[in-house]
Structure 1
Amino acid sequence: MLQDPSSPDIDPGAEADGGGAPRPQALLLTFFGSYVLGRHVRVATASVLDVLGRVGVSEDATRSTLSRMARGGLLDRARRGRSVYVGLTARSREVLQDGEFRVWRVGAVNAHWDGTWTLLGFSLPDSWQRQRHVLRSRLLWAGFGALQGGLWIAPSPVDVPALLDGLEAAEHVRVFQARALPPTDAGRLVGDAWDLAAIARRYDRFLDRWDAPRPPAGPPDSLARQLLLQTEWLQVIRQDPRLPREHLPGDWPAERAQRVFRSVHARLDPEARAIAADTLDTIPDEDADEPEPRLETVP
């Protein structure tokens, strides 16, 4: 089960809808997903400081975030001589595999929707403010939108037992699958349950920044630019429920933004990989499970 993204020790998601710079932890998760996940290695802290410094994160901020991630069970540290190396845990691999799946295996819109909605309702005691916040955070994370009252909907099947795993509120939740029947307008359901304008603005900001002959100024090399690119893309798609294409506006920017992301990523990738090979100090991770197979880009 993916951990609750509202938890203070896990922040795989995004900044608020303000277009702010990615947080250090979001950048670190992208880095570990790109250069550690599935490789059965640990990477030296000094190398991590170098890479994050290339995107403007201070050494103090990186060290503090690495320590917090280790305390939260996302990283495992080992000392070799005078150097400290960090590796992944089962918990962080789960978060990173989810991110990799969303980036490379799932399209930006739901082009094959069969008309089935997942409906989820709940009613919690007034005193359960924390439980209500955690439940709502998980529902948003899983692509649900609030329709009315305590009724939430998602435009696809959802692994609800996994979504509710470990939640005290789980026994107060009721879940159904259904299809919209006349006079219900499925297009209006989408507009009522999700803020389409806010989702589109995030894609538009991404396009304004990256849909240009040259990547944005600032990062000094392809490794840093690719790290920012992928982190910003994850920030966008993690806040998009992948709504059915037939119920989205005709000028919906998601698929264009996805093409731009994959094109820029492919252009930066050879040099970024070469820089990483020269920069990263790694050792075998003897405590890790067998490495996961790498996922290839889906056209």
Structure 2
Amino acid sequence: MEKQFNTRSMIFTLYGDYIRHYDHVIWIGSLIRLLEEFGHNEQAVRAAISRMNKQGWVQAEKRGNKSYYYLTERGKARMEEASKRIYKTEAPRWDQNWYMLVYTIPEEKRHVRDELRQELVWSGFGLLANSCWITPNPMEEEVARLIEKYDIKEYVSFFKATYIGMQDQTALVQKCWDLSEVNHRYDLFIKEYSEKYILAKRKLEKGELSDGSCFVESAWLVHQYRKFLFIDPNLPEPLLPQDWLGDAAASLFTDYYQMLQKPATRFFETVFALGEHD
């Protein structure tokens, strides 16, 4: 498997999986040391965290001669939302309603429109028609956050609606999301990580996996599984196809992650603690 990912994306993974549990903050030296495990150098880490700072995900803080980076409120909200979906144990309940967002953002704000589209896809919305997005999940808080973030209140209408036709709900889902492609990706994930899970389990039982190796394997696992947040709309069970593989993939991910968690966390805490001493 390819083992070189975008440095910024890897930092997001570490914040979501570890750092948010430690007051959302880390010393830059510890972050650099952790990213070395994945082949990222100091220059790349500093450039990536600086970019995240400018984008409003993290905030820098000086303590003596050390620089620390902590998640902003926006960063915390994104990590919490992502965590709920990554570590979910069951599909969301459905109240039979659809939530519809419609916008008319002017051309001079095209960059806002483009960013909003990406945010909506990440949040699980599907494009029903031009500038009209829907989801079966109650997303009032997320939508309110987006409207405030992009200052687009005057351009947006948000509805709670009932679908009465003319096609059935399945046709509506097929129009808005390509679930067959998502299912195919889940199938590939299951085939690859079933083998990795068995191999890692044997090595752990024989004492052949160090804490550092478990940290790397756990982070890669989360990093790969996190990609489904961008393509799986997290639909309620009644709207999913009968051969849906999302639950099987989630079960495999959970078993593998829990197996690696204790030694991986030990390694993280050892490196994290370097920032606690002057």
TM-score (norm 2): 0.81
Contact 1:164/1:170 (<8 A) preserved = yes
1:122 aligned onto 2:103: yes
Alignment of 1:135-146 (within 5 A): 135-146=116-127
Aligned structure 1 segments of 4 or more residues deviating by more than 6 angstroms: none
Alignment of 1:89-100 (within 5 A): 89-100=72-83
Aligned to 2:60: 76
Question: How many residue pairs get matched?
Answer: 262
Contact 1:118/1:178 (<8 A) preserved = yes
Q: What RMSD in Å do the two structures reach over aligned CA positions?
A: 2.9
Which AA in structure 2 matches 1:39?
A: Y
Alignment partner of 2:261 out of 269, 282, 295: 269
Distance in structure 2 (CA, Å) of the matches to 1:72 and 1:183? 43
Report the CA distance shift for 1:158/1:59 in structure 2 as closer, same or farther (over 3 A): same
Percent identity, please: 25
Query: Bigger relative contact order, structure 1 or 2, given CA contacts below 8 A and separation 6+?
Result: 1
Distance in structure 2 (CA, Å) of the matches to 1:23 and 1:175? 35
Distance in structure 1 (CA, Å) of the matches to 2:25 and 2:169? 48
Report the CA distance shift for 1:214/1:56 in structure 2 as closer, same or farther (over 3 A): farther
Of 224-233 and 159-168, more deviation after overlay is shown by 159-168
Contact 1:76/1:89 (<8 A) preserved = no
* Structure whose residues are more often helix by fraction: 2
Alignment partner of 1:192 out of 175, 197, 202: 175
Report the CA distance shift for 1:240/1:60 in structure 2 as closer, same or farther (over 3 A): same
Distance in structure 1 (CA, Å) of the matches to 2:150 and 2:25? 33
Unmatched 5+ residue regions in structure 1? Answer: 1-18, 285-299
**C-alpha displacement of 1:140:** 1.6
Q: How big is each residue's C-alpha offset from its partner over 1:90-121, in whole Å with a ceiling of 9 and x where there is no partner? A: 343233222222223x34633x2121111222
Aligned to 2:223: 231
Of 186-195 and 241-250, more deviation after overlay is shown by 241-250
Which AA in structure 1 matches 2:91?
A: V
Q: Secondary structure at the match of 2:199?
A: coil
Contact 1:206/1:257 (<8 A) preserved = yes
Report the CA distance shift for 1:75/1:168 in structure 2 as closer, same or farther (over 3 A): closer
Q: Secondary structure at the match of 2:32?
A: helix
Aligned to 2:148: 165
Of 151-160 and 132-141, more deviation after overlay is shown by 132-141
Distance in structure 2 (CA, Å) of the matches to 1:209 and 1:78? 43
TM-score (norm 1): 0.76
Aligned to 2:132: 151
